[in-house]
Amino acid sequence: MKLGKLMPVVFPVLWLAVLGSSMQVIYARHKARDLFVHLEKLNAERDSLEMEWGRLQLEQSYWSSHAFVERVANAKLQMNLPQTRDVRIVRP
């Protein structure tokens, strides 16, 4: 077959192939942008959760400190350390 007879068929097919691939490039770039925006939101959320985790760890260390527990026991429960004369050592 001669090339001249194929031209009316080849050019529209090639044109459709170029159009289809350009649409795929546009879709792929759009999807990549959407995924990047989602990734940045997740990174911001992760950073926020890490900050909250740090604050919670500090709060836990404060609430579990011996000084805090003793202060609460004294203030709210009226508990005091026993005097040495009140301590009894029991041996089995």
Any domain includes 41: yes
For residue 91, the SS3 value is coil
Any domain includes 92: no
Residue with tokens 């031209």: 7
Any domain includes 91: no
Confidence of residue 67 (pLDDT cuts 50, 70, 90): confident
Asked if residue 80 lies in contact with residue 74, where contact means CB atoms within 8 angstroms, the answer is yes
Asked if residue 73 lies in contact with residue 79, where contact means CB atoms within 8 angstroms, the answer is yes
Any domain includes 13: yes
Q: Give the range of the structural domain holding residue 34, as residue numbers without chain letter.
A: 3-86
Q: What is the mean pLDDT of residues 1-20?
A: 84
Residue 82 C-beta-side C-alpha neighbours within 13 Å: 6
- Taking phi over 0 as left and psi of -120 to 50 as alpha, with beta for the rest, 78 belongs to left
State how many domains the chain has. 1
Residue with tokens 């050019």: 11
Confidence of residue 3 (pLDDT cuts 50, 70, 90): low
Q: What is the pLDDT of residue 44?
A: 98
| Per-chain mean pLDDT for the chain | 91
What one-letter code names the amino acid at 86?
A: D
pLDDT: is 80 or 29 the higher one?
A: 29
Any domain includes 66: yes
Percent of the chain with pLDDT over 70: 96
